[in-house]
Amino acid sequence: YSIRHQIHHQTAVEVEQLDPFSLVADELSVLANKLRSMVIAEVPKLASAAEYFFKLGVEGKRFRPTVLLLMASALHMPLPEPSDGSVGDAVSLELRTRQQCIAEITEMIHVASLLHDDVLDDADTRRGIGSLNFIMGNKLAVLAGDFLLSRACVALASLKNTEVVSLLATVVEHLVTGETMQMTSSSDQHCSMEYYMQKTYYKTASLISNSCKAIAILAGQTTEVAMLAYEYGRNLGLAFQLIDDVLDFTGTSASLGKGSLSDIRHGIVTAPMLFAMEEFPQLRTVVDRGFDDPANVDLALEYL
């Protein structure tokens, strides 16, 4: 309500200049504390691994929670009165708290996927510091990711909404599917914009779109509104990854918080390369040679 109230009293230009992150700054700091309390583990080694990316200063941009908290504000609806005259389910949380829970679950799934991704890519930096696998080794990084997924599942179950559980559980399958599709993105048969967009949906947009839809479902919105929330998240997620893929070519290690040119070095073909291949078909032969040889990376970069 307070966000809607703030926006209502602004002119169109002022609304355009609003910083979305600052609109939910208070809720983001509540979320940060909640996440820190949710990732406490029994065994000290696992505890320090699990909390690694939830510490102050290395929390990341919090893009997904910000989108979800804003979506929650936009779709805020009162909880229906319990029909049986009771005070309501003892564990039923306030709607807003339930929606905040989606933001927390989404961030935990996201961080789990980053931890596993860094192991798969053998990446040594993330968010401007050493990746967890670099600091504590691959084994602990995999286990910490599994631990976060488990905590996300428990939080998801506490919402007691089977549709929402199913949506977010499917997202984990999508993340794995997208990551697997990416492994063959440079092969001739997969070098297409269609394949790239499908992979990008699974790898990045599914988490954002399905969690936006979950927010709408929890708010008791109609199927139509839930689908609009989903479409909004899907497009935002696709745009987010497209920009991320461009930045991989144009950014610096300092601005990215991790090494640049990481995709091409891993033989991953993304949108900038696909556009360049459309314009320069001879780039195909460079891609076919693979990018183990740095000279071939340099050659491909000349076309971009």
Residues 8-27 that bind ligand GRG (CB under 6 A): none
Q: Could you say whether residue 116 binds ligand GRG (CB under 6 A)? A: yes
Q: Please state the φ and ψ torsions of residue 130, each to the nearest 5 degrees.
A: -60, 135
Secondary structure of 55-110 as H, E, C letters: CCCCCCCCHHHHHHHHHHHHCCCCCCCCCCCCCCCCCCCCHHHHHHHHHHHHHHHH
- Nearest-angstrom CA–CA distance, 102 and 89: 19
Shortest Cβ 108–ligand GRG spacing (Å): 9
Shortest Cβ 95–ligand GRG spacing (Å): 26
Q: Could you say whether residue 244 binds ligand GRG (CB under 6 A)? A: yes
Nearer to ligand GRG, 95 or 123 (CB): 123
Binding mask 60-89 for ligand GRG (x = CB under 6 A): xx-x--------------------------
Asked if 66 and 21 touch (Cβ cutoff 8 Å), the reply is yes
Shortest Cβ 219–ligand GRG spacing (Å): 24
Q: Which stretch binds ligand GRG (CB under 6 A): 98-106, 170-178, 224-232, 278-286?
A: 170-178
Q: Could you say whether residue 98 binds ligand GRG (CB under 6 A)? A: no
Q: Could you say whether residue 55 binds ligand GRG (CB under 6 A)? A: no
- Nearest-angstrom CA–CA distance, 225 and 71: 11
Shortest Cβ 296–ligand GRG spacing (Å): 25
Residues 245-304 that bind ligand GRG (CB under 6 A): none
Residues 188-207 that bind ligand GRG (CB under 6 A): 203-204
Residue of 35, 7, 11, 8 lying closest to 19 (CA atoms): 7
Burial of 47 (0-12, 13-18, 19+ CB in 10 A): middle
Tokens found for residue 275: 């556009």
- Nearest-angstrom CA–CA distance, 269 and 121: 15
- Nearest-angstrom CA–CA distance, 173 and 183: 16
Shortest Cβ 178–ligand GRG spacing (Å): 6
Q: Which residues bind ligand GRG (CB under 6 A)?
A: 60-61, 63, 109, 112-114, 116-117, 120, 127, 145, 149, 172, 175-176, 179, 203-204, 241, 244
